[in-house]
Structure 1
């Protein structure tokens, strides 16, 4: 028995010595490859945050950003730059074709940059939604951000400034005043903005000495792809326009139909995309629900205060959901203008020609010309006599041909049981005179 226990403890002791060796053999350092493709928008930040967090939790040795983007929102790029600055793991930006504008800014935050032979990086001027140069305040911020991004990784800040400011001149690169700098792979390596040129990711792995079996390719989930699409600065005004137009049409339609459904679906998609992207919190959704509840309450409460507060709550929830209040305010204004203009065009121009439009819009009116009256005008009662059923002070009830009729006097008092004569009928107003 004692001999068996001794063997058992010896086995446990031997396993404890072998455990670190076995763990080190299985614990292969991973390399995470994270794509940054298409436009840079606010939804991209949420995806990168999740991907980087996964990499760091799994003790990744290296993070490679596979970049191919024409640029995007300055605010989104700024948030992504701050995110990359906080990454302790070594990072490499692989310019797999284009890293322009916001893409160049993101690349500058990586520890190293590699490019494909025909890759391009630069052309990072900040422009507004109309395609014009942004105001001086925005340009000043962007130039400072580009310069800091270059300096943080030991790159020439003058080159970064030339990418964003056409007034910067770099003679050795042939950049004159009035031109924005865009570097090819050779020029980027020449000025220290690229550590090397590789044909593809496989060649990059060989250059960096990475075992391909340790590579983890991070993919966007369906929810993240949808969030990126919805938070695109071009898509947001379209969604809000559909929501506004759908709900406005629904106000003129009997029941609840297609237009209202489209409006509600557009709003649901808007909030869902911004919620997944991390831009909106549940408090914005609660504020929106409160706004809807106040508008519904307006049907039962007098004064219009509840309705006004409800509309204000809905507009506030939409603006807060976007993260950037100014940009969302512009998008919301564009959406409302488009919705109103579309409704006017439909009603004035196509209203009589479009059969489908005539079916969904309630256009019937209860006018006198169409034969509708709010009250029956009983002119046949003029001249008839009756007896007051109740005192008239000056209104009351009279009996005419065994019919109870509400009537008023010409101004005086008539007690019950007196004979009266109908002298005037004005809609629902029947005037009687005392003839007793």
Structure 2
């Protein structure tokens, strides 16, 4: 059965992906400084990974946590989650900007107790933007600016400068004009009391804060966490859903092809695996998905007037909404994937319909003369012909038309034998007449 095949494929893929998933704990001696990298795009997968890293730091209790930052920004929501984790840490956090701490990266750095800059590094330009690259609405800008200001002031930094990284309308005499965003070089960050100093190496940073000649350990993301970061990226989610839905639709419409079903199942397995590792999805989302697929398979063989099919689609959509970090974005991505699935279904039926499962349920025999069938005689030539009622029509009876006897029926009126009639309607062998006026 196709449903069992889909379940088996997903189970195999989950088992394969779990092989390289390693525990975070190590048996090495506790380090004095725990080093965590924040690089590439800031997104929800990274936020979840960093939260696990900080939990691991709480377990091994180093003297300090060093964040090596090199990012051009990303999700505001993810940055807020990372900022919360940094603020709640009981271990001192040092942010070392190795190259760039732009946008969300600037907010993350501002939440650390200490900020150190590498030569040539920059920090700032944190104006929030929507997923399509447009400037966020004024309400969001004001909220983000207040968060930046609060993060800076909580660690004794210039809150006005931090807000100026976000709000283009803010004017800071001698530093920022209206319409500009603040982006500071390493030296400017030190001059504006945002950073503590400029250091060439990580060792110089640690020595400055009193951690010279100390043991360090780096947090390494497992393969599963890296995969989760990729899968939970806002641009990857709709792609996986499109591949998954289209693959399953083709598999349901043309059973036995296998490859589309395997690809679709793999896409959904990656989707749910990544979101479960990231901490967004639970087993209930996977159960809803499998329930939805089961309902769609049943719809192929049971006449439910589309009820089971609609229920299946709703169940799959709900599973996606439950799994994704943002329900609204998850549902939107699922609806987009349905559009592509509709196009795929149309192409499949148009060009490969002769292989479809529904052909087993459709009567293909034709009642033609070539097949030995004799069609019923047509009386259309009698339309509007006149005749005489041979027997009373109550309303059925016999009439003579063109000197031939025919079984006829009146429109409902009683017609006596011998009265003149006219044919007003012919439907197959059914001849309808009325009294001639």
Q: TM-score scaled by structure 1?
A: 0.73
Q: 1:329 Cα shift?
A: 2.6
Report matched runs for 1:60-99 at 5 Å: 60-99=62-101
CA–CA distance in 2 between the matches of 1:212 and 1:256? 62
1:81 touches 1:106 (CA, 8 Å); kept in 2?
yes
Alpha carbons of structure 1 residues 337 and 143: separation in structure 2 relative to 1, 3 Å: farther
Alpha carbons of structure 1 residues 235 and 268: separation in structure 2 relative to 1, 3 Å: same
Unaligned runs of 5+ in 2: 1-27, 378-406, 409-427, 430-437
Query: Secondary structure of 1:97's partner?
Result: strand
CA–CA distance in 2 between the matches of 1:201 and 1:331? 42
Match of 2:275 in 1: 274
Is 1:154 aligned with 2:159?
no
Match of 1:23 in 2: none
Q: 1:143 Cα shift?
A: 2.0
CA–CA distance in 2 between the matches of 1:71 and 1:339? 33
Match of 2:365 in 1: 373
Q: 1:252 Cα shift?
A: 4.0
Query: Secondary structure of 2:123's partner?
Result: strand
Unaligned runs of 5+ in 1: 1-25, 352-357, 384-409, 412-428, 431-436
Segments of 4+ in structure 1 off by > 6 A? 364-367
1:114 touches 1:195 (CA, 8 Å); kept in 2?
yes
Alpha carbons of structure 1 residues 170 and 261: separation in structure 2 relative to 1, 3 Å: same
Query: Secondary structure of 1:245's partner?
Result: helix
Match of 1:54 in 2: 56
Offset from partner CA, 1:162-219 (integer Å, 9 cap, x none): 111111122322x211111111111111111101111121221222232455101111
Q: 1:117 Cα shift?
A: 1.1
Root-mean-square deviation over aligned CA pairs: 3.1
Match of 2:264 in 1: 263
2:142 touches 2:167 (CA, 8 Å); kept in 1?
no
Report matched runs for 1:272-421 at 5 Å: 272-298=273-299, 299-300=301-302, 302-340=304-342, 361-363=352-354, 373-375=365-367, 378-379=372-373
CA–CA distance in 2 between the matches of 1:186 and 1:381? 96
Match of 1:244 in 2: 245
Match of 1:5 in 2: none
CA–CA distance in 2 between the matches of 1:380 and 1:211? 102
1:254 touches 1:362 (CA, 8 Å); kept in 2?
no
Work out the number of aligned pairs and report it.
348
Alpha carbons of structure 1 residues 310 and 28: separation in structure 2 relative to 1, 3 Å: closer
Q: TM-score scaled by structure 2?
A: 0.72
Alpha carbons of structure 1 residues 333 and 123: separation in structure 2 relative to 1, 3 Å: farther
1:92 touches 1:113 (CA, 8 Å); kept in 2?
yes
Query: Secondary structure of 1:177's partner?
Result: coil
Match of 2:173 in 1: 171
Match of 1:406 in 2: none
Q: 1:100 Cα shift?
A: 0.7
1:70 touches 1:99 (CA, 8 Å); kept in 2?
yes
CA–CA distance in 1 between the matches of 2:166 and 2:116? 21
Query: Secondary structure of 1:330's partner?
Result: helix
2:368 touches 2:374 (CA, 8 Å); kept in 1?
no
Larger RCO: 1 or 2 (CA < 8 Å, sep 6+): 2
Query: Secondary structure of 1:171's partner?
Result: coil
Q: 1:27 Cα shift?
A: 8.0
CA–CA distance in 1 between the matches of 2:355 and 2:64? 69
Alpha carbons of structure 1 residues 180 and 306: separation in structure 2 relative to 1, 3 Å: same
Query: Secondary structure of 2:296's partner?
Result: helix
Match of 1:6 in 2: none
CA–CA distance in 2 between the matches of 1:119 and 1:342? 48
Q: 1:347 Cα shift?
A: 7.4
Match of 1:200 in 2: 201
Alpha carbons of structure 1 residues 222 and 186: separation in structure 2 relative to 1, 3 Å: same
Alpha carbons of structure 1 residues 331 and 210: separation in structure 2 relative to 1, 3 Å: same
Match of 2:226 in 1: 225
